[in-house]
Amino acid sequence: MGALHAGHETLIKTARAECDVVTVSVFVNPLQFGPSEDYSRYPRTWPQDLTICDRNGVELVFAPPVEEVYPTPQLITVDVGRLAEHLCGKFRPGHFRGVATVVLKLLNITRPARAYFGEKDIQQLVIIRRMVSDLNLPIRIVGVPTVRESDGLALSSRNKYLNAEERRAAPALYRALHDAASRIRAGEHDVSKIRAGALTLLAQSSLIRVEYIEVVDPDELQPLESIVGPVRIAAAVWIGTTRLIDNISAEPN
Q: Where are the domains of the chain?
A: 6-144, 157-248
Q: Residue 74 has what pLDDT? A: 96
Q: What is the pLDDT of residue 24?
A: 98
Burial of 11 (0-12, 13-18, 19+ CB in 10 A): buried
CATH top class, domain 157-248: alpha beta
Q: What number of CA atoms fall less than 13 Å from residue 232's CA on the CB side?
A: 22
Contacts of range 105-113, beta carbons closer than 8 Å, 24 or more positions apart: 105/69, 106/25, 106/27, 106/62, 106/69, 107/132, 107/137, 107/139, 109/62, 110/23, 110/25, 110/62, 112/23, 112/139, 113/19, 113/138, 113/139, 113/140
Q: Are 181 and 248 in contact (CB under 8 A)?
A: yes
Q: Among residues 130, 108, 109, which one has the least CA distance to residue 117?
A: 130
Residues annotated as part of the active site? 8
Question: Rounded to 5 degrees, what are φ and ψ at 137?
Answer: -80, 135
Burial 154-187 (b: 16+ CB within 10 A, else e): bbbbebebbeeebbebbbbbbbbbbbbbebbeee
Mean pLDDT by 10 residues, the chain (253 residues): 95 98 97 90 93 97 96 97 97 97 97 97 98 98 98 95 97 98 97 97 97 97 97 98 97 93
Task: Report whether 122 contacts 95 (CB < 8 A).
Answer: no
3-state secondary structure of 122: helix
Of 109, 244, 96, 220, the residue nearest 169 (C-alpha)? 244
Q: What is the pTM of this model?
A: 0.95
Q: What is the pLDDT of residue 38?
A: 85
**What letter represents residue 120's amino acid?**
K
Q: What is the pLDDT of residue 29?
A: 96
Rounded distance between C-alpha atoms, residue 250 and residue 51, angstroms? 36
Q: How far apart are CA 80 and CA 97, in angstroms?
A: 6
Q: Residue 13's pLDDT is what? A: 98
CATH number of 6-144: 3.40.50.620
Cα 36 to Cα 39: distance, rounded to the nearest angstrom: 9
Q: What is the pLDDT of residue 36?
A: 83
C-alpha 226/C-alpha 10 separation (Å) is: 34
